Structures are given as C-alpha cells and as structure tokens.
Amino acid sequence: MTEEPTTTTSHPETPAKTGPEVIAAYLKMLPQSPGVYRMLDTAGDVIYVGKARSLKARVSNYARLNGHTNRIARMILATASMEFVSVRTEAEALLLEANLIKRFRPRFNVLMRDDKSFPYILICRDHAAPAVMKHRGARNRKGEYFGPFASAGAVNRTVNMLQRAFLLRSCSDSVYDSRTRPCLLYQIKRCSAPCTGEINLDDYDKLVDEAERFLSGESQTVREMYQRLMEDAAEKLEFETAAEYRNRLWALAHVTADQSINPEGVEEADVFAAYQDGGQTCIQVFFFRTGQNWGNRAYYPKADRSLNVEDVLDSFIAQFYDDKPVPRLILISHDIPNRELLAEALSTKAERKVEIRVPARGTKSTLVEHALANAREALGRKLAESSSQARLLEGVAERFGLPAVPRRIEVFDNSHIAGTNAVGGMIVAGPEGFVKGQYRKFNIKSPETTPGDDYAMMREVLTRRFKRIAEAEVLDEIETEVEEIASDVGGGPLSPIVEEPNDSAEEVAFPDKPDLVLIDGGLGQLSVAREVLAGFGLHDIGLIGVAKGPDRDAGREHFHIPGHDRPIMLEAKDPVLYFVQRLRDEAHRFAIGTHRAKRAKSLGANPLDEIDGIGPTRKRALLKHFGSAKAVSRAGVEDLKGVDGISADMAKKIYDFFHERAG
C-alpha cells in the first residue's frame, strides 16, 4: 500500500448491548469503499474479521438476523462493537484481513493452526566468500533466501547437493577466518576452500552465482551450461576439468532422483489440496522449486463445520502467504470464491504476476491429485488417532469415576534443585492429544514460598493458574446470557431460515477450563490442590493425585482421589494406566526442561549486572582487574578504589552489595 489506511473506531452508546441494533448504529458513518471490519464481543475480544468491497453494503447485511446460518447469527448476537479500516482496493483488504486473522485469531474465522516457521536456505552476502547454510527465523542477515522447505531434512539434503555441485563453503565465518589449511570437505570435494586460497574469490563468486541461479529456478539452464562446459573440456582433452563438470551434473541429477515426485514443466509452484471428512479439513501443501519437490506439510485449520471445503481453502491460502514468499504458480484442488482477487493480491505482494489455477489435466493435474491423496490419507490417520484418544479419555472417566468424559486435562509438576531456579510446569491434553500451544511455565517468585517447599510451590502455581480461571467465570456468565438471548430470538425469525445442524466447530471448541487436573504427588499435593480450587469456588473440576508406588516403580502408581479413603491402582497392562503415565512423564519432561533452561540462563548471569551504576565499561574494568566476579566480591573497598573508573562511593556501593548479600 502506498497510502496509510484510515482507521475508524467507534462504540455504540450502550456498549453492554449486542446484536443487530448495535451493528446498525455504525451504518451512517461507513463509506462505500473497500475495507476490513472487526467484530468485538462484550469483553472487547475480536470474534470475527472480514473484508468487503463496500463496507457499508457488507455491514448492512449484519444489521438484520434473517437469512443467516447459525454461525453468522451467533456471531451477530455476540457483537457488542465494531472497528473498521478503509483501504484503496479490495485486494489490499484481503491481505489486511489475512494479517488480522492471524494476529487476533477470532473464533468465528477459519484459523490456520500449526503455523511453525519453515526452514530456508541462505546464501549469505555479508562476507567476501559467501557461505550456504540452513536458516530459520527472522531474515535479518544480508543474503539470498530460498524456500520454503517443508522440513529441516529437505534443507540438509539440498545443502549437501549444493556442496557437491558448486563446492560452496558451509563453515561459520570464525572457522573460515581461522583456517590455515583446507579442511576435510575440500579433500572429499565438497568445498573449493576459498579460506586458504585454493580458489580465488572471483572464481568462487562465479560458483555462488551459479548456485543462486539454480535455486532461483534456472536449474535447466545451469545443467545445460555444465553439459556444454564438460563437452568443451573433453574436446580440448582437458579430462580432469571435464570430470569436474561431470561430477557436478551427477550431483544436480542426484537431488532430482531423491524426490518422490518430480514434475516436468513445473519449476516453481505450491500445490494446495483440501479434503473434508468427519467435520474436519486437512490441507496438504507441496512445495516445488527448481523443478524439485522440496517437501510437503499437512495442516488442520480450525473451521466451523458448516463451511464447505472451498471456503476453508480460500481463507487458509490468504493466511498462509501472510509471512511467506509467494511462488509464480499456485495449484489448488478446488476452485475458491476469491481466486482472481487472491491472485491479484498476491501479485501485489510479490511485485510480479502470480497465477492461481485449478488444473484439469496433464502434469499439473497429477500433482494436485497426488496432494489430494496425501490429504485424504493424513486426515484418515488423524481421525483414527482421535478415535483412539477418545476411547482413552472414556477409559479415564470410567476408571476414576468422573461424571463425564474429560475434554481438557491439565497436569502440573514442579522442578528445582535444593530450591534454586524453581519452576512449575503445566501441560495440556485433549481429544487430539497434547495441546503444546497451551503449555505454561510458572517461575516460582512469591516471597511467601519457601525455597524447596514442594507444597508451597504447588500452591503458588495452582493459585496463579486458577485465579485466572475464576476471573474468566464472570465473562463466561456474560457469554451465557448472550447465548440465551440467541435462543430466545431463535424461536422467532431464525427458526424458518436455519436448517444446519447445531454442531459447529465453534461450539465444540477446545475449552479454556480443565475438566480434570492431575497432580504429580500424593495426598499432600492433592490436599493443596483441593484447598486452592475450593478457595476459588471451582468445585466442578476433577482432581487426581498421581503418586509413585512402592520402590517408585512405573506401573505401580497409586491414584489419590478426593472422597476415596484409600488410593486406587490400575491393572499393569491397562491402556489407561499407560495413558496417565504418558501424561505424567510429559509434565515431568516439560518442567525439567524449563528448569534446565532457567538454570543455564542463571549460570550465565553476572552479579555485577545487579549493581546500580555498573555499566559495561565499569564491569569490563572490574573483571579485567580482578579476573572474575567472585574475586570482585572478595575485594575490599581500597582494592576496589584502585580500579579505573571506580570512585570511593562506587567502591563502597560494590562492597556493601556483596556483603549485604552474604549476610
């Protein structure tokens, strides 16, 4: 966008109200121009983000209840306020909409999940002899980035190919600068050794340029060039040179032979194939660059069950390219509603033409069919795993006498060494397995918590966790009132127009409040948990203490349950026992990992950083003079005054800091 979009934020006179009347209050101030709108609930959370060719026309549709699906009707009735952004074109609105959806994650939108960063290949350009390396994260280093690759393995294979074909270095700059003789990679013909002058930098730059051309999609041109050079060298009887070019051709051919599917005539494309079943959608994404398959990844976007596969795929693709480079060609399995508009928006983003096609025949159609078959198989496996997980959750409810099958289980564990670097860990599991995006760590920081007191640490962790749950209960009551209003209205104008099953993804969304809490410990820890939950009035959450059995043997765990006089044990080969052990072990792994990370960080900390007035210069002077922070702590005031930049007052402050700590 060349102009900053204008933002209009308004609130109706009665913020507590929700529904069509609230939305209608905005119509007078809305333009007939393109833009993006946000719908907010009574808590101020964004519940939906949409784009419009005409903001006024689109919002006017929401100012009435007739003619909407259950999902849209619920969304309207939950809307307490709206916000708007005007832009110049509908294509800009589409890009902004995708960005805002990823930022706010509104519950009524299609949400792209498992958005892990992709690895790339980086040819760094901030050194006289550029290196080729794997890169993940922010692109803040100067150079050329190529990707995305679906996995680190695909990157490693391609980097190895580049080493064999173009003899590029992969060492760090510090290693490069310290070399006095070629390393092993030079001996096995994986590097041209610019570090020791085995190749001059001008010739090395030519190799780098050839590698960039290959990764940029000119793979066939590079192959033809090497073929020609090999033949020319052979004609001149320069057989060693010809053999070098032959080896490079073999290396380039090797990476193609390693790919599972290698399309002819498709140099640069992404393939999206979507498949729906059981109320869920799987989208397989395949990446093709330089005529090679750079891997694939499966996604399971969160979407309302009422949305068809075309609508889910449409929203997913827009969000997918919010932070990723766009290829010249995108192949899709279904024709999406905004295909032409999305192509225009992505072309604007990429500053070149981007084509989105639904191939009907030929090689491209084969690619889409292959991706669709992978989507179908992946979704089948996921549904089977979910079914198995559901049976385990049913077993948990049966074995432990729970009133209902738990949908959200939280497991708590603490980790410390003699009370130092104490942390608490919370892991979450549900019908689809571990929900790692909702894991939480708690640094034990209350002055009332005695270091090493496991009960006190558990009390602090649980108090901090369930205080937030209790506060959220108030908002839940407001949500319930809104739903009751929707139910009342449903008997009138909504009943003749809504024909969809009332089982949308929004209604079965993963809860924020646990149904069951597992505590790693015995009666003591369980008593603490009961007190905390009772203090917040949370009597509907199940509690189980998992204590190690005799000799701390796995498989002989004792399960302490409120209301039971004696702990219970499960059969040694009971799948539910294995399931609970897996939950407990995951909580232990997470807590230990968090503790180790905190301990490693503390080991690198310097007590001098805690002294007010000690900056980098004085810190360097003290360490240079005494050799270590420990030696500084033992120094007297007169010794400290002898350091450059340390005045008498500062010397006294440093001395008092360490001796007060010691006392």
**Residue 71 corresponds to which tokens in the numbers above?**
């999902």
67 membership: H or E segment, kind and range: none
What pLDDT digit, counting tens, does each position of 152-171 carry? 777 887 787 778 778 888 88
Backbone angles phi, psi at 259, to 5 degrees: -80, 145
pLDDT in tens, 631-641: 888 888 888 98
Q: Which pair of tokens denotes residue 278?
A: 């059981």
What is the per-residue pLDDT for 112? 86
Question: Residue 151's pLDDT band (boundaries 50, 70, 90)?
Answer: confident
- The hierarchical CATH code for the domain 268-381 is 3.30.420.10
Q: Does residue 517 contact residue 544 with C-beta atoms inside 8 Å?
A: yes
- pLDDT band, very low/low/confident/very high, at 510 (cuts 50, 70, 90): confident
418 φψ region: left (φ > 0), alpha (ψ -120 to 50), beta (else): left
Closest CA to 374 of 382, 364, 363: 382
Distance between CA atoms of 308 and 281, rounded to whole angstroms? Answer: 9
Residues 6+ apart with CB under 8 A from 653: 611, 612, 613
Contacts of 346 (CB under 8 A, 6+ apart): 321, 326, 330, 354, 356
Structure tokens at 383: 């549904």
What the block records as the tokens of 49 is 């983000």
More confident: 413 or 154: 413
**pLDDT: which is higher, 75 or 615:** 75
163-172, 376-385, 603-612, 650-659: least confidently modelled range: 603-612
Beta-bridge partner residues of 134: 121
Q: Indicate whether 321 pLDDT > 50.
A: yes
Among 308-312, 435-439, 474-478, where is mean pLDDT lowest?
Answer: 474-478
Phi, psi torsion values for 71, nearest 5 degrees: -60, -50
Res. 662 pLDDT band, cuts 50 70 90:
very low
Tell me if 268-381 shares its fold with 409-467+514-601: yes
Instruction: Please give the pLDDT value at position 493.
Output: 42
Q: What is the pLDDT of residues 278-291, one digit of tens each?
A: 788 999 999 888 77
Question: Has residue 514 got a pLDDT over 80?
Answer: yes
Report residue 420: phi and psi, to 5°. -90, 150
Q: Among 56-60, 312-316, 390-394, 443-447, which stretch is predicted with the lowest mean pLDDT?
A: 443-447
Report the candidate in 412, 521, 407 with the shortest Cα–Cα distance to residue 463: 412
Place of tokens 């919010």: 322
Q: Which of 222-226, 252-256, 531-535, 645-649 has the lowest mean pLDDT?
A: 252-256
- Architecture of 409-467+514-601 per CATH? 2-Layer Sandwich (3.30)
Of 13 and 367, the one with more pLDDT: 367
**Amino acid making up residue 539:** H
How much is the pLDDT for 295?
81
Query: Who contacts 442 (Cβ-Cβ below 8 Å, separation ≥6)?
Result: 423, 424, 425, 426, 460, 461, 464, 465
* Spans of all domains in the chain: 6-104, 268-381, 409-467+514-601, 607-662
Say if strands 268-277 and 329-332 run parallel, antiparallel, or are unpaired: parallel
Residue 506 φ/ψ, nearest 5 degrees: -65, -35
For residue range 262-272, list pLDDT tens digits in order: 566 677 899 99
In this prediction, residue 100 carries a pLDDT of 94
Contact 646, 624 (CB under 8 A): no
**pLDDT tens per residue across span 176-230:** 888 888 888 888 888 889 999 899 999 999 888 888 877 776 656 666 777 777 8
Domain spanning 607-662, CATH class: mainly alpha
**Amino acid identity for residue 188 in this structure:** I
Q: Which one-letter amino acid corresponds to residue 658? A: F
Looking at residue 255, what is its pLDDT? Answer: 52
Q: What are 292-301's pLDDT values in tens digits? A: 777 888 999 9
pLDDT band at 663 (very low <50, low <70, confident <90, very high): very low
506 has pLDDT over 70: no
| Cα–Cα distance for residue pair 37/100, rounded to 1 Å | 10
Compute the average pLDDT of residues 638-650: 89
**Higher-pLDDT residue of 157, 648:** 648
Q: For residues 49-69, b (16+ Cβ closer than 10 Å) or e, as one string?
A: bbbbeebbebbeebbebeebb
| Closest to 208 (Cα-Cα) out of 146, 151, 250, 150 | 146
Least confident interval from 35-49, 163-177, 641-655: 163-177
**633-651 burial, b for 16+ CB within 10 Å, e for fewer?**
bebeeebbbebeebeeebb
* β-pair partners for 302: 111
Q: Distance between CA atoms of 450 and 441, rounded to whole angstroms?
A: 19
Q: Which two tokens stand for residue 594?
A: 């968090």
Q: On the CB side of 155, how many CA atoms lie within 13 Å of its CA?
A: 20
Q: State both tokens at 610.
A: 């805690």
Q: Which of 7-11, 142-146, 538-542, 550-554 bottoms out in mean pLDDT, i.e. has the lowest?
A: 7-11
Cα–Cα nearest to 147, from 319, 283, 326, 298 = 326
Question: How far apart (Å, rounded) are the C-alpha atoms in residues 94 and 92?
Answer: 5
| Whether CATH 3.40.720.10 fits 6-104 | no
Residue 69 has pLDDT above 80, yes or no: yes
628-635 long-range contacts, CB within 8 A, separation 24+: 632/608, 632/658, 633/607, 633/658
* Cα–Cα nearest to 313, from 283, 347, 344: 283
* pLDDT at 507 exceeding the cut of 60: no
User: DSSP state, 550?
Assistant: G
**pLDDT of amino acid 161:** 77
Quote the CA–CA distance of 516 and 402 in Å, as a whole number. Answer: 9
What's the sign of the alpha-carbon dihedral 254, 152, 320, 84? negative
- Within 13 Å and on the Cβ side, how many CA atoms surround 188? 8
Work out the average pLDDT over 242-262. 62
**pLDDT score at 26:** 93
CA distance 442 to 79: 34
Tell me what the pLDDT averaged over the chain comes to. Answer: 82
> Please, what is the end-to-end C-alpha distance for the chain in angstroms?
62
Poorest-confidence range of 151-155, 430-434, 542-546, 656-660?
656-660
Quick one: which of 79, 47, 50, 48 has its CA closest to 63? Answer: 79
Task: Check residue 591 and give its pLDDT.
Answer: 87
At residue 494, the pLDDT reads 39
Alpha helices (runs of H) in 16-54, residue ranges in sequence order: 20-24
SS3 content of the chain, % helix, strand, coil (to 5): 45, 15, 35
- By the 8 A CB rule, do 87 and 79 touch? no
Backbone torsions φ then ψ of 230, nearest 5 degrees? -65, -45
Using DSSP bridges, classify how beta strands 542-547 and 292-299 pair: parallel, antiparallel or unpaired. unpaired
The token pair that represents 214 in the structure block: 């290959």
Q: Using 50, 70 and 90 to split pLDDT, how confident is the model at 3?
A: very low
Residue found by looking up tokens 């449409």 in the block? 314
Q: Name the DSSP letter for residue 302.
A: B
Residues in the chain: 663
Does the structure show a pLDDT above 50 at 258? no
DSSP 3-state of 420 = strand
pLDDT of 505 higher than 50: no
